[in-house]
Structure 1
């Protein structure tokens, strides 16, 4: 059986166990799992899920950082025929509860404490009625007040439930997982302000994973340090799933710190290290970089922000990467669409997102959806096996995103050159990127509206030297209410993922609006630029005096 025929994750892992056996699949400080042990672990966890009553097609969520249990739980969910719902670790309880509610998840696997936050405690006050069980990977399960009727438990106690489901029953359930079975629902925010659940199947994801791994030249001998979070397609699909499709070893990494990452590269002989450009900038800025043995590094894949050709050259010369690639994709396209190829020059890698992957079409279109000539700017459309099945429970939004001819309308603007290489030029949507994380103003504005003192809020992305872009919020307070920018920012930190929290906040009496009452965000951006120019002039005059 060739890899091209492995179009479900249960079959992929079973094949890995048969082919690679004792080779290490996951390596952590807490212990290693061989491919055979990973196969056994996902079967045990899948049987436990079945004993909890999880049926095919139902949703199970994971809310945790990059730990081995995340991978085992995900593979178990897939093997039981259920759909995985990853939740961003930076989300607070209110945000996570909204994902759980909208997906209808019956069971949640989460960490106990991460970066000082107790996940069960954060969720307790907002927990949806439909969430029947919380399984905690690590540490004390939680205070009793965070639980319901004893149905929540630690991971080790949960695994003991596997005995309640026979291997015969599991094998029948596993055999029913087909390439067209729903594999996951990954929530992505949009201009409506409420996250939408993107549905994709086993077959389309594994097709894309296989092609991506081949283009990225992943090998059985590779040691893949995954800094990108597992809740994101970059760490999940182009991460551990691509590694397992190649027979490589996965090295999960919890929190990015350039010193710790350099230590791991040297100690663990890391060969594959994808990430956003900020990751490589941070490594290159380390003062003792030249004294480190980085000879194991081989493959880097980046994207999500503008890149200078000099960065590509430095990554090759100073970090020692043989292969440096950039790519483009959306959650709605399984995370994959375009990718550079090995051998592309630094200018191509830095200024484009590569060309379409095999079996994928990319069109730059006018407002009618008709293809534009080479070099012309228009909306980027994607068509192929990788386009989502739709948004969970949102047929109208699905029809708007994917037209009758199967083209996914990305909302991004770009051009195609004569070679078919894609260049992203702008965004139709207001989305901006903070350190590699997509921020959607409508969603953040909706979250802000929960503050009792806020009447209106409008958010725009503004340039930032370190993070690329950050949010600038313009807030109108309710009549008679008082709140300082500092108080509003502190509230946002407690109720939003940190990358969503505006780095700048200005109180205004009113927002600029059109005759139809629509907020004119271009006026706010002009205000930002004008204020920046005023500060520059003031600084110059001060220096001159």
Structure 2
């Protein structure tokens, strides 16, 4: 027995069955580490381009990449690094980022991606949180000199010998590696690291790669929360390789040329982009060190890219820039959006303006190795526009209420995921680990979600972003999707703001088209009769741009700060 109700602009079917879904998959999981996966792909595609770094004018085949990875990995071992040691990579999307990550994996080291925008206190926290022993740091990022920041963190650096750093503020750190032709005190040159080990040591590294357990830690992702310091999610080789296998099949990446506009330190780019490209034997094209819409579009044309992966805000910028440039985009076959909710209007814009026939949503988190739900190649139009697809192979999902009870299909609650893809732990934080990972290894995502009997999912937003207005539970995503359909609005984001009478009210921050005249009265008139009166934002703020993370996510807490500063 089921009943039907219309909400979130779609038809929801309520069922009496508990919302548990298992997708056993059609093919078995693999059991190998990242280094072994690179070796397999190199044997299959030795002469195929693996990475194209446009800004550095570098092109590496799989054979080239494999050789550099082994040389650098043996260099890491020569420094005295042991399996399980943490090595951090701090910088934007340069070729050395990808080589360093793969070299560390082949050596049994655990890579730690550090946001290239981080400043001294944030870098210091990250290095100390996971006991980093070696750091690969870019020379500069935009107008920031990384070595100057490191001197602030580690005053002893300028008087240190390479590989012998002794710091009171970062006691675990011993080695600093900088990709530069210049010499920096206390640091190895990246190019010198490539030649540090001899042939015998390189061959030994390659043989020892088979001894690295697929269950061992491979990568640490710092996940930003709404409160407190970032948590460090530890991901295994097994979780990363099998998630990459999943996306290779789901996205049909064989022979693909992927335009990599996402930051490599982020799980989305690292897994769905770079590691999936390795599994598939695809070419990963890096347009620029950081996202520039014009550069990305020109790279798509020049490099004949077939696949594009980005966040919704990146696609907004790409669409607006393409309207201006009108480039002859003819090779793109597929666009994937993830990292945040994407409204139906944005999906249609991507199709129409960027001329991409297949635009698909995916859903995941750092803690799930970026892997959970994805849209199939053949979906109904309703599924394409309103869901994040269906549950991926070999995973389990359920939706629970605040007391942990499994809700029926079709009801809104917190999504939980279980499977090979789930993080091992939050590094050094048993309490936080227990908060999100129960004894049966169900991961509580913190997302409001609707799970259907067919395995498809609909995301309503973060639980902590839910707005309670006079007893009504309001979800920003629903209102944002509606506002984004306004002809003058490019992008909108809704937040809850304090209200003495109702507890919370809504403020819509919007970016409008050039020359558009939008005010609160016009917006309210547009909403009237189309959505419930209590869903109409009470306040409106027009902005030229939104505060974003490096990975393209909107920082809603900064929108709250903007609103509060105006009120005060």
| TM-score band w.r.t. shorter chain | 0.7 to 0.9
Work out the CA distance in 1 between the residues paired with 2:325 and 2:383. Answer: 27
Measured after TM superposition, the shift of residue 214 of structure 1 is 0.8
Q: Which residue of 2 aligns with 1:67?
A: 94
1:308–1:499 distance in 2 versus 1, CA, 3 Å: closer
Alignment of 1:402-441 (within 5 A): 402-429=437-464
Measured after TM superposition, the shift of residue 191 of structure 1 is 5.2
**Aligned counterpart for 2:293 among listed residues 258, 261, 268:** 258
Q: Which residue of 2 aligns with 1:316?
A: 351
Task: Give 3-state SS (helix, strand or coil) of 1:423's partner.
Answer: strand
Work out the CA distance in 2 between the residues paired with 1:504 and 1:366. Answer: 28
Q: Which residue of 2 aligns with 1:455?
A: none
Q: Which residue of 2 aligns with 1:198?
A: 233
Q: Which residue of 2 aligns with 1:135?
A: 177
Q: Which residue of 1 aligns with 2:558?
A: 502
**Aligned counterpart for 1:225 among listed residues 254, 259, 266:** 259
Measured after TM superposition, the shift of residue 344 of structure 1 is 1.8
Q: Does 1:339 align with 2:374?
A: yes
Q: Are the counterparts in 1 of residues 340 and 553 from structure 2 also a CA contact under 8 Å?
A: no
**Aligned counterpart for 2:34 among listed residues 9, 12, 30:** 9
Q: Deviations over 1:169-190 (max 9, x none)?
A: 3134312112112111111133
Measured after TM superposition, the shift of residue 365 of structure 1 is 0.6
Q: Which runs of 5+ in 2 are unaligned?
A: 1-26, 155-169, 467-475, 478-489, 492-504, 513-546
Give the TM-score of the pair, scaled to structure 2: 0.74
Q: Which residue of 2 aligns with 1:464?
A: 509
Q: Deviations over 1:184-231 (max 9, x none)?
A: 1111133551211111111111111111121111122x1111000000
Q: Which residue of 1 aligns with 2:48?
A: 23
Q: Are the counterparts in 2 of residues 228 and 235 from structure 1 also a CA contact under 8 Å?
A: yes
Q: Which residue of 1 aligns with 2:107?
A: 80
**Aligned counterpart for 2:82 among listed residues 49, 55, 60:** 55
Q: Which residue of 2 aligns with 1:111?
A: 138
Measured after TM superposition, the shift of residue 303 of structure 1 is 2.5
Work out the CA distance in 1 between the residues paired with 2:388 and 2:188. Answer: 44
Work out the CA distance in 2 between the residues paired with 1:365 and 1:281. Answer: 33
Measured after TM superposition, the shift of residue 167 of structure 1 is 3.2
Measured after TM superposition, the shift of residue 163 of structure 1 is 2.6
Work out the CA distance in 1 between the residues paired with 2:308 and 2:379. Answer: 19
Q: Does 1:269 align with 2:304?
A: yes
1:167–1:426 distance in 2 versus 1, CA, 3 Å: closer
Q: Which residue of 2 aligns with 1:44?
A: 71
Work out the CA distance in 2 between the residues paired with 1:462 and 1:336. Answer: 32
Measured after TM superposition, the shift of residue 531 of structure 1 is 6.3
Work out the CA distance in 2 between the residues paired with 1:346 and 1:96. Answer: 44
Q: Deviations over 1:225-256 (max 9, x none)?
A: 10000000111011111111111111113222
Measured after TM superposition, the shift of residue 269 of structure 1 is 0.7
Alignment of 1:104-253 (within 5 A): 104-127=131-154, 128-142=170-184, 144=185, 150=186, 152-163=187-198, 166-190=201-225, 193-220=228-255, 222-253=256-287
Alignment of 1:525-544 (within 5 A): none
CA RMSD of aligned residues (A): 3.2
Measured after TM superposition, the shift of residue 413 of structure 1 is 1.2
Measured after TM superposition, the shift of residue 347 of structure 1 is 3.3
Measured after TM superposition, the shift of residue 66 of structure 1 is 0.9
Measured after TM superposition, the shift of residue 52 of structure 1 is 0.2
Measured after TM superposition, the shift of residue 317 of structure 1 is 3.1
Work out the CA distance in 1 between the residues paired with 2:67 and 2:46. Answer: 11
Alignment of 1:510-521 (within 5 A): none
Work out the CA distance in 2 between the residues paired with 1:417 and 1:202. Answer: 31
Measured after TM superposition, the shift of residue 165 of structure 1 is 6.5
Measured after TM superposition, the shift of residue 168 of structure 1 is 4.4
Give the TM-score of the pair, scaled to structure 1: 0.77
Work out the CA distance in 2 between the residues paired with 1:240 and 1:498. Answer: 20
1:71–1:313 distance in 2 versus 1, CA, 3 Å: same
Work out the CA distance in 2 between the residues paired with 1:462 and 1:84. Answer: 40
Work out the CA distance in 1 between the residues paired with 2:74 and 2:28. Answer: 26
Q: Are the counterparts in 2 of residues 50 and 165 from structure 1 also a CA contact under 8 Å?
A: no
Q: Deviations over 1:424-453 (max 9, x none)?
A: 2132235999x99xxxxxxxxxxxxxxxxx
Q: Deviations over 1:76-130 (max 9, x none)?
A: 1001111111111111121011111111010000100110111121122224132
Q: Which runs of 5+ in 1 are unaligned?
A: 145-149, 437-459, 468-491, 507-524, 533-545
**Aligned counterpart for 1:97 among listed residues 124, 130, 133:** 124
Task: Give 3-state SS (helix, strand or coil) of 2:123's partner.
Answer: helix
Measured after TM superposition, the shift of residue 28 of structure 1 is 2.1
Q: Figure out how many residues of one structure are paired with residues of the other and give that number.
A: 455
Task: Give 3-state SS (helix, strand or coil) of 1:74's partner.
Answer: helix
Q: Are the counterparts in 2 of residues 412 and 426 from structure 1 also a CA contact under 8 Å?
A: yes
